[in-house]
Amino acid sequence: MKELSYFRETRKDSTLLYDGKVLHVYKDTINLPNGKTGMREYCRHGGAVAVVPLTREGKVVCVRQYRYALGRVTLEIPAGKIERGEKHYDCGRRELLEETGCICKVYEYLGEIVPTPAYVSEVIHLYMASGLEFTAQKLDEDEFLDIEKIPLEKAVDMVIKGEITDSKTQIGVLKVWHIINKK
C-alpha cells in the first residue's frame, strides 16, 4: 500500500507511562500534518503468531481458555507472543506444540493482521498447519486450556453466528476456508 505522506504524524516527545511484561504504554506529543501538535496514547507490543491447525479430516484444532481481561472463556486458534529475538515462523511452531501438542509437516504463511491499530502496535502473523502429528502438550505453568477439534465448515458458521468472537481466530478460519474452497 502506498503511504500517503500528507497523513504522516511525527513524534515530538514521548513519555513511557507503564513498562510491563507484554505492554508498554506511551503518551506522545506529535506533529500533525497541518502543522499543529496533538497527543497520542498507545501500547507497544512485540507481536504475536496464530496458527490454524487443520487435521486430515478437515477439523480445526482450537483451544478453549479463560481470558482475564474479558472475564470469560473464549474459543481460539493456538497463538502466542513472539519472544525477544524469535522469528515469527519459529514462534508459531513453538506455540502450536505447547498449546496443542501438534507437530506439523506443512506450515504455510497466511499474512499478518493488525487487530487494534488505533492504539496498539501489535502485528499478528497467521499460519496454517497441516500434516499434523499429535504428541503431548507443553503448556506454560500459568496456562490452562482445553483442546477442541471443530470441522472447518462448522467453525466458519460459528464465526458468522458470532459464536467465535476472537478476531485472529475469525480471520484465520475464514482465510483457510477461502484457500481450501478456491482449489
Which active-site residues does the annotation give? 141
Total residues found in the chain within this entry:
183
DSSP H/E element including 51: strand 48-53
Q: List the grid coordinates of 35.
A: 502543522
The torsion angles phi and psi of 167, rounded to 5 degrees, stand at -65, -40
What is the number of other CB atoms lying within 10 angstroms of the CB of residue 68?
7
AA letter at 66: Y
Q: Cα dist. 92→13, 31, 73, 117, 170 in Å?
A: 35, 37, 22, 22, 17
AA letter at 125: H
Question: Pick from 94, 4, 86: which is nearest to 50 by CA?
Answer: 94
At residue 28, the 3 state secondary structure works out as strand
